[in-house]
Amino acid sequence: MKIFRIVLIASVLALSVLFFFRTPSYWTGVNIKMSANAPWGSPAAQASMKQLAQTGARMGMLVAFAWQDKPESVTPVLGNDSQPDTIRQGLRDIRAAGLTPMLKIHLWIPWHWAGEVAPAQMDEWFANYQKAIMPLIDIAREENVPAVFAGTELRGVETASQWPALVSAIRAHYAGQVIYDTDSLEQAEKFQHWDLFDAVATSLYTALPDTQKDRIGVMTDNARRLQNLGEKWKRPVWVAELGLRSGQGILQRPWMSPEQVKVPVDLAIQKTVLTEWRDTLTTHGVTGISIWCWYTDPHDGGTDSSDFTVQNKPASSVLSRPAFRF
C-alpha cells in the first residue's frame, strides 16, 4: 500500500510538472515559393516538401501571386506561375508530404513593394482583384484547404471600405478560415477590419539590438502588443511571416533582401534569433508562426547562403517544437 501511495504521489507530481512546463499550443510552418527549376508536381518539388516535413513543420503556406504592372493600376491578374492548375498541384504536393496546406495570396508589382499599391480607382481595383483570385479560392475549397490568405501586406488599400464586400464574396465560395496579413505590428494595430477575418495575422521584420538581453526585451514588447491585439479583437494571433537572413549585420535591417544589401554569411545568428522569436511569441499566446521562406528546389539555401530561407541550414530547427520549456 505504501509503495502504491509513493507511485501515486510521484505520478501526480510528474503530471503537475508536465502541466506547468508544457510547451504552449502552436503550429510552425513556412511560406513556400515555387522555384523556376522545380515546378509544382516535379520530383524535385515533392522531395523539397518531404524535406520540409522532416524538420517538424506542420503547415506549408503556398505563396501565389496576383500581378499588376504599376502601383496605380486597377487591373490585377493572376501571375503566370500562379494559375489554378499549378496551385492545385502545389497544394497536393504539400499535403502528400504530410503537411497541412494553406494558400497565401500576394500582390506582385514590378520594382515595387506590394504595400505601395495605390489604385487610381478603388472600386475597380477591388472588383478586379476579386475576379483574379476567385479561381484560387475555388481551388482551395475543392482541395479542402483549411485557411486562405485573401491578401498580404496591402498597406495602400488597408483603409478602403471595400474589404467587407471582398471577404463576403470569398466566404460565399469557401468555408475555411479567411485571413489577412499586415506588413508589420504597427499596421496590424492600425487595421480596422480584423472582425472580418478569422485571425489577427502580421509579418514581423522588427529591427533588433545585437545583445541578447536587449533583443529579448524588444521581442517581448512585440509579443505583448500582439497578445493585446488578439484580446481586443477576440481572435487568435498568427505571425504569417517571420524572417531573418543568415547574414552578418542584418539585425537592425532584417527586411533587406540580398538584392538590396550583400552581407557575409552567418548561420548562427539566424538560428539563434529565430529560435528566440519562436519561444517569446509562443509564450505570449501566438498560435501560429510561418517562417519566410522555403523553395521547391530541394537544394536551395545551404551553408553558403545569406538569404532568408532556412532550407538546408541550422535554422530549420526552429520549425520543430521543443518537448518542454523550462
Higher pLDDT, 227 or 1: 227
Q: Would you say the C-alpha torsion 130, 133, 136, 140 has a positive or negative sign? A: negative
User: Could you report the per-residue pLDDT of 180-232, keeping only the tens digit for each?
Assistant: 999 999 999 999 999 999 999 999 999 999 999 999 999 999 999 999 999 99
Residue 317, CA atoms < 13 Å, CB-side half-sphere? 14
Helix axes 43-53, 84-96, angle to 10 degrees: 40
Amino acid identity at 226 = L
What 3-state class would DSSP assign to 266? coil
* Residue ranges of E strands in the chain: 27-33, 59-67, 77-78, 100-108, 147-152, 177-182, 200-204, 237-242, 288-295
- The three cell numbers of residue 90 are 502545389
Q: What number is the average pLDDT over the span 24-50?
A: 96
What 3-state class would DSSP assign to 248? coil
Question: How far is it between the farthest Cα atoms of the chain?
Answer: 81
pTM across the whole model: 0.91
What pLDDT score was predicted for residue 105?
98
User: Could you report the per-residue pLDDT of 116-141, keeping only the tens digit for each?
Assistant: 999 999 999 999 999 999 999 999 99
User: Could you report the per-residue pLDDT of 54-106, keeping only the tens digit for each?
Assistant: 999 999 999 999 999 999 999 999 999 999 999 999 999 999 999 999 999 99
What pLDDT score was predicted for residue 321?
77
8 pLDDT higher than 50: no
- The three cell numbers of residue 8 are 501515486
Q: Which of 238, 196, 207 is nearest to 104 (CA)?
A: 238
What pLDDT score was predicted for residue 7?
44
19 pLDDT higher than 90: no
In whole angstroms, give the CA distance from residue 314 to residue 294.
14
252 pLDDT higher than 70: yes
